[in-house]
Amino acid sequence: MPKAQEFEQLLKTLGFELQVLELSKTTRTAVDAALAVNCQLGQIAKSIVFKTTTTQKPILVIASGSNRINEEKIAQIIGESVEKANANFVLEKTGFAIGGVAPVGHPEKIETLIDEDLFCYQEIWAAAGNPNSVFKLSPQQLLKITGGRIIKVK
């Protein structure tokens, strides 16, 4: 798992001058992250990896921390049924362990879907590759950095 400085450097290579915060508290869950950075739960951009059931393709859904992802909606958008990925699949496809999955920095491009509710906020927080690091960005920066599609996740 990358250290905060390594992830910050990755963001720079992608053209984004964003500061990564390495915290003493865990940011493994959306609730933990919101408490650690003192923001609303909805401002946490949680990265959840799904797997298509037939083709075994990873799908990254970046949802507002206050929202529950509707798997049927994701399946309709993708055109194939999906299931939550297990820890080994997540690590293999993203390079990150569950609880620290960043929206970028994966070994290969992953289809990314972004919760429209994140665009209700000027600033959001995302995991920076480990369960103790986060970075702040705008929803527009998240869209640009991931090349994702905006969807309704609920």
CATH of the domain at 98: 3.90.960.10
Q: How far is 28 from 116, CA to CA, in rounded Å? A: 22
Task: Name the pTM for this structure.
Answer: 0.95
Number of domains in the chain: 1
Give the domain extent around 108.
4-151
Residue 126, helix vs strand vs coil: strand
Cα-Cα-Cα-Cα dihedral sign, residues 114, 97, 12, 38: positive
Q: What is the pLDDT of residue 2?
A: 59
Q: What is the pLDDT of residue 3?
A: 76
pLDDT in tens, the chain (154 residues): 557 889 999 999 999 999 999 998 899 999 999 999 999 999 999 999 999 999 999 999 999 999 999 999 999 999 999 999 999 999 999 999 999 999 999 999 999 999 999 999 999 999 999 999 999 999 999 999 999 999 999 9
Closest CA to 115 of 63, 71, 57, 56: 63
